[in-house]
Amino acid sequence: MLIADRVIAIAIMALSAYFMWHAIALPIGWNGMTGGPGGGAFPFWLSLIMLLSAGGVLIRSLMQAPSSQHFFDSQMLRSVILVVVALFVTIALIPVLGAYIAIPLFIFWYIKMYGRHGWVLTAALTIGTPVFLFFFFEVTLKILLPKGVTEPLFFPLYAMFF
Amino acid sequence: METLALLADGFATSLSPINLMIVILGVTAGLFIGAMPGLGSVNGVAIVLPLTFIVPPSSAIILLCAIYYGAMYGGAISSILLGIPGASTAVATTFDGRPMAQQGKAGLALIAAAVASFVGGTISVVLFTLFAVPLADLALAFGPAEEFALVLMAFTTFVGLGGDDKLKTIIMICLGLVLSTVGLDLISGQPRLIFGDLPGFYSGVSFLVLAIGVYGIGEILYTIESSRTAPQVTPAKISLRDLGDGIRTMNRMWRTMSLGSFLGFFVGMLPAAGATPAALMAYGIARSTSKDPKSFGKGNIEGVAAPETANNAASTGSLLPMLTLGIPGSPTTALLLGGMVMWGLMPGPMLFIEQPDFVWGLISSLYTANFAAVAINIALIPLFVWALRMPFTVLCAIVMVLCIVGGFAPSQKMHDVWLIAGFGVAGYLLRKADYPLAPLVLALVLGPLMEKSFRQTLISEQGNVLAFIERPLSGTFIAIAALFFVLPLVKYLRKGGRRSVAPAE
């Protein structure tokens, strides 16, 4: 628990420093001309407060005695990592294979391989979800989801609904 | 009197068939979302917001408010039937709701929760109606200095009154504010914090991206980890006789319920407090003022009624500062505020003058939402029992897909979808490390207002920083803010020697 706390505090400190480095691209001091802080002042000084507070959390955590409590539930951590990886793979695939291939793949993986559900439920959700998405977003809202290489397959559908 | 006339006009809007349908749809969706363990009003609103483009803006807000309401009712359902709070706001409902279900009185407990929610909702909507106009009138006098002071005060309530770690709260407020500055500088128009010129950052970080990430993906990851075994659903059957019994029993609890409503309403208005602490406080008061405090925790129906009135009243209470001042009283109302700004309905006193039809239509829809929620809640109990048996993996998969597509839809950029995934993982880790997420979301929504009002004031006052304390209203707000900020410090110093004493909760 404490190690995770320290790692997160250090990560926040690093993030704050990164923000500060980017913020100084704009004036961070008092601008005498307009009477008020420059454009970079808000992100810079707030990041500094964040850096100092995270430093406080780190110091406090270093002074505490280590506890035996674990940050992650070791049995469930594998599930969480699996789902996160599947999510990232799905998002990466969307611009390439298109949302209508990537999302059903994700559902299939989640329901059948991860959830170990039956074929009927898997098929219903794998087919039903993209159909719902198509009618909700493309037909009703006129928001086109990315289709990647599958774009030509949708031309007849466009002709039908638009 | 004037208020009544305006409210009557409002009903003309909210009772139109389309809006009535929207309220019923929203409440039903909210009830299901609330009933699902792990998903509460804030998750529901975050996930559904991108889907509301399908209706006109004013109806979209009514829909989201109805979801908010429905989710507050629905939270009790899984608290009672599963013993797992459907949302954090329904934690206190498990204390007596679960024992009641185990004693075979699940039906009665569900009816009590629904009726109590209705009472809490209705009393608080009446209070809302009474306070809205005076508060909006007061807010008309606000200039940029007052706006800044008010936002500052809202943030300091998290430090002074919030139950979370102070340092971590400050970190989350600053992180939200810094994220809100990404994009183009408000005053000079120059790009800043675009991280190596990534074009996606020019338009800033949308509140919706953060909210879907943290409350959609993050929440699901959190629930995956914490739900190792499938929970046991207690069967519940409802007959008309139960309904009569329930209402008769509830009729004896007016004192508890009105206390819970008032408490919930006023606690709900504070950004740092809200429905969860309000429900816990109402439960505590009901127990300590009861003639039979020992029966609490063992299935006392009053222990279901008190928190349920309070959490519904709190959800209405948190709408009041959002609509009249433009300062949200809870993370869910922060999302509503963000949505309204997105649709060009800037909340605040001017909204009452420029868009009275919308404002009063919305307020009157809260009345109809309450009626719809109590009726649908009781009528659909068998359906909820069935829905709670739905495998959790199915819910996760659907929510994940909605997050991906819902994140893409508003901006139509994959950049935002990646950000959502990133925020989801980060939000999950931060939540596990006890970093509060509500101030983060609130800060991102209020950040632009805070910076703009601060810099506007200084420009108009030629850089005179004292302008913030010289103006009476803004001076008062700053003083209160300072008090909230010093409060934890004073407490800490007073505790000084007796560190061993457990913090009072």
A79 and A7 housed in the same domain:
no
Out of A53, A94, A140, whose CB is closest to B171? A53
**Is the CB of residue B3 less than 8 Å from the CB of residue B352?**
no
Pairwise CA distance, residues B149 & B129, whole Å:
25
Q: Which of residues 370-429 of B touch A (CB under 8 A)?
A: 391, 393-394, 396-398, 400-401, 404-405, 408-409, 412, 414, 417-418, 421, 424-425, 428-429
Out of A35, A73, A133, whose CB is closest to B405? A133
Beta bridge partners, B183, equal: B192
A157 and A79 housed in the same domain:
yes
Contacts of B226 in chain A (CB under 8 A): 73, 76
Q: What is the pLDDT along chain A (162 residues), one digit of tens a residue?
A: 678 888 999 999 999 999 888 888 787 777 666 667 777 888 889 999 999 999 999 998 888 776 666 777 677 788 899 999 999 999 999 999 999 999 999 999 999 888 888 899 999 999 999 999 998 888 888 888 898 888 888 888 888 887
Pairwise CA distance, residues A39 & B185, whole Å:
6
Q: Cα distance from B453 to chain A (closest Cα, Å)?
A: 11
Cβ–Cβ gap A8/B397 under 8 Å: no
Nearest CA in chain B to A20: B193
A22 and A86 housed in the same domain:
no
Which helix (DSSP H) or strand (DSSP E) does residue B446 occupy?
A: helix B438-460
Domain assignment of residue B409, given as a range: 2-147+190-433
Residues contacting residue B130 through CB under 8 Å, at least 6 positions apart = B3
**pLDDT value, residue B240:** 77
Interface test with A, best of B222, B405, B446, B465 (most A CBs within 10 A): B405
Out of A15, A84, A144, whose CB is closest to B425? A84
Under DSSP, the state recorded for A138 is: I
Could you tell me the two tokens for A40?
């970079």
A117 and A88 housed in the same domain:
yes
Out of A39, A54, A145, whose CB is closest to B171? A54
Pairwise CA distance, residues B238 & B105, whole Å:
10
Is the residue at A68 inside a domain? no
A151 and A91 housed in the same domain:
yes
Torsions phi, psi of A27, nearest 5?
-60, 130
**pLDDT value, residue A119:** 92
Is the residue at B167 inside a domain? no
**pLDDT value, residue B3:** 83
Out of A39, A56, A115, whose CB is closest to B192? A39
Residues contacting residue B75 through CB under 8 Å, at least 6 positions apart = B34, B35, B40, B41, B85, B86, B87, B89, B90, B93, B311
Contacts of A37 in chain B (CB under 8 A): 454-455, 458
**Is the CB of residue A145 less than 8 Å from the CB of residue A130?**
no
**pLDDT value, residue B62:** 92
Q: Cα distance from B382 to chain A (closest Cα, Å)?
A: 22
Cβ–Cβ gap B451/A32 under 8 Å: no
User: What own/partner pairs with CB < 8 Å and gap ≥ 24 does B381-386 have?
Assistant: B381/B77, B381/B107, B381/B110, B381/B236, B381/B238, B382/B237, B382/B238, B384/B31, B384/B32, B384/B35, B384/B74, B384/B77, B384/B81, B385/B81, B385/B233, B385/B235, B385/B236
Cβ–Cβ gap A136/B228 under 8 Å: no
Cβ–Cβ gap B391/A50 under 8 Å: no
A104 and A144 housed in the same domain:
yes
Find how far residue B88's CA is from the centre of its chain: 11
A140 and A89 housed in the same domain:
yes
**Is the CB of residue B402 less than 8 Å from the CB of residue B47?**
yes
Under DSSP, the state recorded for A146 is: P
- CB of B254 less than 8 A from some CB of A: no
Is the residue at A8 inside a domain? yes
**Is the CB of residue B98 less than 8 Å from the CB of residue B83?**
yes
Q: How many CB pairs under 8 A join A and B?
A: 177
**Nearest one of B77, B69, B95 to B298, comparing CA atoms:** B95
Is the residue at B490 inside a domain? no
Find how far residue A159's CA is from the centre of its chain: 35
Q: Cα distance from A150 to chain B (closest Cα, Å)?
A: 17
Is the residue at A34 inside a domain? yes
Q: What domain count does chain B have?
A: 1
Q: Which of residues 141-160 of B touch A (CB under 8 A)?
A: none
**pLDDT value, residue B6:** 86
A102 and A147 housed in the same domain:
yes
DSSP of B147-196: HHHHHHHHHHHHHHT-SS-HHHHHHHHHHHHHHHT-EE-TTT--EES-TT
**Is the CB of residue B271 less than 8 Å from the CB of residue B323?**
no
Q: Cα distance from A126 to chain B (closest Cα, Å)?
A: 10
Please give the average pLDDT of every successive group of 10 residues along chain B, which has 505 residues.
Answer: 83 87 93 85 89 86 92 88 81 88 87 92 93 88 87 86 84 92 79 75 86 90 76 74 82 86 90 83 88 86 91 91 89 90 87 88 92 91 84 87 90 91 94 89 89 84 79 87 83 60 38
**pLDDT value, residue A74:** 72
B407-454 tens-digit pLDDT = 898 888 899 999 999 999 999 999 988 898 888 998 998 888 888 888
CB count within 10 Å of CB B495 equals 12
Could you tell me the two tokens for B408?
């893409």
Is the residue at B223 inside a domain? yes
Is the residue at A59 inside a domain? yes
Residue with tokens 């879907």: B212
Pairwise CA distance, residues B200 & B373, whole Å:
41
Is the residue at B344 inside a domain? yes
DSSP of A76-122: HHHHHHHHHHHHHHHHHHHHHH-HHHHHHHHHHIIIIIIS---HHHH
Q: What domain count does chain A have?
A: 2
Question: What's the Cα-to-Cα distance from B142 to each of B145, B266, B324, rounded to whole Å?
Answer: 8, 22, 12
CB count within 10 Å of CB A61 equals 18
CA atoms B421, B426, B428, B431: torsion sign: negative
A82 and A121 housed in the same domain:
yes
A33 and A100 housed in the same domain:
no
Which helix (DSSP H) or strand (DSSP E) does residue B488 occupy?
A: helix B472-495
Is the residue at B166 inside a domain? no
A54 and A94 housed in the same domain:
no
User: What own/partner pairs with CB < 8 Å and gap ≥ 24 does A80-88 have?
Assistant: A80/B221, A80/B224, A80/B225, A80/B428, A82/A114, A83/A110, A83/A114, A83/B220, A83/B221, A83/B224, A83/B396, A83/B400, A84/B221, A84/B425, A86/A110, A86/A114, A87/B217, A87/B400, A87/B404, A87/B421, A87/B424, A88/B421
Cβ–Cβ gap A19/B228 under 8 Å: no
**Is the CB of residue B109 less than 8 Å from the CB of residue B83?**
no
Cβ–Cβ gap B414/A73 under 8 Å: no
Q: Cα distance from B396 to chain A (closest Cα, Å)?
A: 9
- CB of B464 less than 8 A from some CB of A: yes
Q: Using alpha carbons only, what angle is made at residue A90 by residues A88 and A95, rounded to the nearest 5 degrees?
A: 110
Domain assignment of residue A15, given as a range: 2-63
Contacts of B167 in chain A (CB under 8 A): 53-54, 56-57, 60
B187-215 tens-digit pLDDT = 777 788 777 667 778 788 888 899 999 99
Out of B188, B405, B461, whose CB is closest to A145? B405
Is the residue at A69 inside a domain? no
